[in-house]
Amino acid sequence: MDSKPVRVRVSPPAPLKFMNTIIECIVATLIERTIRYRITPLDTTNTPQNPDDTVHQWLATQTIPGLNLQKAIVHSTSWRFENPNQIIITYLIYCDAITIEPNDSLEFEQFTAIEQTNPIIPRPANLKQQDVVIHAIRHLGFLIDQDKDGSVKSRLAPESLLQLGALRLRLAGGMHPAQL
């Protein structure tokens, strides 16, 4: 099939302006059935660099007790648009050995699917910080499930594998049945 690209113009051209770009780093660990986490935003608006490289450079400058990058999982789990004019790319940095104060934590019992009511607009209308964290941790459960070569599983303690792997069976987000 030979097709030509279609040009679409939604509005008159505006002066070139960068979209604000934030990398949201979620550093997390599992303590029993509770995820402890800390979120750090990195403003990369005028940084023409691969976000993976940015996250690894940031990690190299951080003192995170117990963080061992040889035993950590660093993975981009999602992106979203926020008003005004901002793209947020979420990265999960998970390591069993890190120490995080329990200020920000979520018990597995708090893991509920985000209700989505519009099948053509993927971002839920009411998105909270804990929803983003839950999605990232469920994404980790998916990575564990799909890990055929052991590169993810080898970085996790057996108890973490058991608990996080169980999350693979739960949706990261859900559509309201009336909209399907």
The string of pLDDT tens digits covering residues 78-89 is 998 887 788 999
What's the pLDDT score for residue 7?
A: 59
Q: Categorize the per-residue pLDDT at 46 as very low, low, confident or very high, splitting at 50, 70 and 90.
A: confident
pLDDT at residue number 178: 38
Architecture of domain 20-179: Alpha-Beta Complex (3.90)
pLDDT confidence tier of residue 54, bands split at 50, 70 and 90? very high
**Rounded to 5 degrees, what angle do the CA atoms 83, 50, 74 make?**
90
pTM score: 0.81
The mean per-residue pLDDT over the stretch 38-43 comes to: 93
Report whether pLDDT(140) > 70.
yes
Residue 105: DSSP 8-state: E
121 alpha-carbon distance from chain centroid: 19
- The mean per-residue pLDDT over the stretch 34-39 comes to 94
The H or E element that residue 102 is part of is none
